Amino acid sequence: MTSKPEPGPAWGSQHRLAASEKWLAKSAAMGRPVTDAFVEYAQPRPGMEVLDVARGTGEPAISLAASLGGQGAVTALDLSAELLAVAEKRARARGLNLRTRRGDAHALPFPDDQFDLATSRFGVMYFADVVAALRELRRVQRPGARACFLAWGSFDQPYWQSMMGVVYRHVGGTLLQSGEADPFRFAQSGSLSALLRDAGFNAVEETSMTLPWAWPGSVEEVWDYAQAVSAPFRPMLERVPADRWPEIHAEVHRALEKYSGGGKITFGASVVFASGKKRN
């Protein structure tokens, strides 16, 4: 039975790491169509040196490395050494040329003009100073190289509304802490591409898509998963009174059942793709 979420901080915590490992296969399956679409959008080619930023447990760095066909390499960067260790283990099991490097997107530990392609899937929203991080990313790219980003669209979509939206309707207050990580900061059309231009990129593009996003399991599982890994919502979850959780769990389960069928929970994901090039 689902209970009150354990209190805990954010990215890289042991609690989140354990949850990420526990749900790794099902989380990867849910995200596979989005990952595949993003890799296709990024257009990696054999021989490229690719930098994947804010990489966590491995995707899309692993898929990018697989697409290089053994020619070139992917460097996966993240603040969490623990999450990178999971990524490295996954890549090694597949014999992929993937390097990991602990580091901050705002101060990349690489020389100028090193990479042919830079990517970040569901990472750019969490940069503390987005323009500064984008400029730093542009610095380490070779002239003419492309930088590609994937961000969440609006909070008003099934995956979020059926779980965190239910909690929010019960507790009110602030959905996300002011000044803290906001997964939806680029939901407004043109907002991410505007910052890419501010950071000095040209040939900037942006488009929104709705892609498959389905959890291969039960409503109880996906709700447990969402509570464990959705770090920006921890403050909201932790202010739910203990006696309100049974009612919230029941309502979340009812909301999720609307998308349940065939052994999976089919949501769909509204996301934003954006890219820009470093001037030659």
Cβ atoms of 226 and 220 within 8 Å: the answer is: no
Kindly report whether the global pTM for this prediction surpasses the value 0.95: no
| Coil, strand or helix at 226 | helix
Q: Look at residue 181 in the predicted model and tell me its pLDDT.
A: 84
CA distance 134 to 258: 40
CA distance 215 to 225: 10
Q: How confident is the model at residue 7 (pLDDT cuts 50, 70, 90)?
A: very low
- How far is it between the farthest Cα atoms of the chain? 60
Cβ atoms of 65 and 73 within 8 Å: the answer is: yes
Which residues is 269 bridged to in the sheet?
211
Report pLDDT digits (tens) over 39-57.
999 999 999 999 999 988 8
| Coil, strand or helix at 85 | helix
Structural domain spans, the chain: 14-154+182-212+270-277
Report pLDDT digits (tens) over 10-35.
444 565 666 667 888 899 999 999 99
Q: Look at residue 217 in the predicted model and tell me its pLDDT.
A: 97
Report pLDDT digits (tens) over 149-201.
999 999 999 999 999 999 999 999 999 988 878 999 999 999 999 999 999 99
pLDDT at 4 > cutoff 70: no
Report pLDDT digits (tens) over 200-241.
999 999 999 999 999 999 999 999 999 988 889 999 999 999
Residue with more model confidence, 70 or 146 = 146
CA distance 27 to 31: 6
At the top level of CATH, the class of 14-154+182-212+270-277 is alpha beta
According to DSSP, the β-strands at 264-266 and 214-215 are antiparallel
Share of the chain above pLDDT 70, in %: 93
pLDDT at 115 > cutoff 80: yes
Half-sphere exposure of 234 (CA within 13 A, CB side): 16
